[in-house]
Amino acid sequence: MRLCPYFSMSRKPLAIEHICPHCGVLEDKKPFVGEHCIDCTLKRERKSWPSEMELTRCPKCGNLWREREWKKVAPSLITALIDEKMERAGLEGHYNMEAQVWEGVFTSAGAKIPYRHPLKIAYKNMQCTTCERSSGNYHEAIIQLRGDPIRVERARKRLIRRIEQKTFIAKVEPMHGGVDIFVGIKKDIEVILRREGHKFVRTEKLVGQREGQRLYRSTFLLRLEKPIEEQERELGQEENETKTEE
């Protein structure tokens, strides 16, 4: 038996080149994910991916509702929310907020194949608890500043700046002998006053009930008199003026 001169037992088998069964593209033209090219894979998978992410936002202050509480908005928070949702869907990658696209990665045969998926952010407006209370003149405490006008004004500016870092100021009203500051949430007020070095008298007033619990409004009275040295100096000046007139 004669073998065909073109046949050899040592001849290596030809490599089989993948062809996408959907579009017919060859493997050397586009990256493949499994049996399909990247474009056909994305076209199939995108049908189950979200094209829009809805977030609940306060239209007044911009805070976001997440994990049953309002949180201050930040690009990192929005990105984290979207990354978390996409990762729960089994997708690997991160959200590019500037371009509004999900930059994902497919892993196939040990290789990383990047792709981009459009994902817009839609905001659902809902007023947060703090803004709702502030617009309704809600307040849990009143800080009463009384005494020397210069010290009262200095304390007013410092306290408002410190308080607004924790809660809102419902209103500020000038009163006889000083000023009243109406504070939204009172839980940090006593700490703020002590850190500012103020001595105060605190009283409580029953204003209602909520879910069977009594609600009290706190009043903090601060008497800001002139320093003793300044009072003595002014008293001495008055005595001298009286002697001169005599």
**38 inside domain:** no
Higher pLDDT, 10 or 179: 179
**222 inside domain:** yes
224 and 141 in a common domain: yes
The last residue of a domain, from among 61, 95, 125: 125
pTM of the model: 0.51
Higher pLDDT, 129 or 202: 202
**DSSP labels, 121-180:** EEEEE---HHHHHHHTT--SEEEEEEE-HHHHHHHHHHHHHHHTTTS-EEEEEEETTEEE
Higher pLDDT, 150 or 3: 150
**238 inside domain:** no
Question: Would you state the pLDDT for residue 205?
Answer: 93
215 and 151 in a common domain: yes
187 and 159 in a common domain: yes
Paired tokens of 147: 């005494």
- Average pLDDT value for residue range 158-170: 92
Higher pLDDT, 117 or 156: 156
Number of folded domains in the chain? Answer: 2
The last residue of a domain, from among 101, 125, 149: 125
**39 inside domain:** no
**32 inside domain:** no
Token pair 């994910």 in the structure block, residue: 33
142 and 115 in a common domain: no
CA–CA dist 238, 241 (Å, integer): 5
Tell me how far the alpha carbon of residue 148 is from its chain's centroid.
40
**199 inside domain:** yes
142 and 223 in a common domain: yes
Query: What residues form DSSP beta bridges with 205?
Result: 217
Paired tokens of 200: 């105060």
In the predicted structure, residue 129 carries a pLDDT above the cut 60: yes
Eight-state DSSP code of residue 55: E
**243 inside domain:** no
In the predicted structure, residue 189 carries a pLDDT above the cut 50: yes
**17 inside domain:** no
The parent domain of residue 60 ranges over 50-125
Within the chain, residue ranges assigned H as helices are 38-45, 75-88, 129-135, 149-163, 189-195, 228-245
- Half-sphere exposure for 105 (CA within 13 Å, toward CB): 8
The last residue of a domain, from among 66, 101, 125: 125
Question: Would you state the pLDDT for residue 54?
Answer: 87
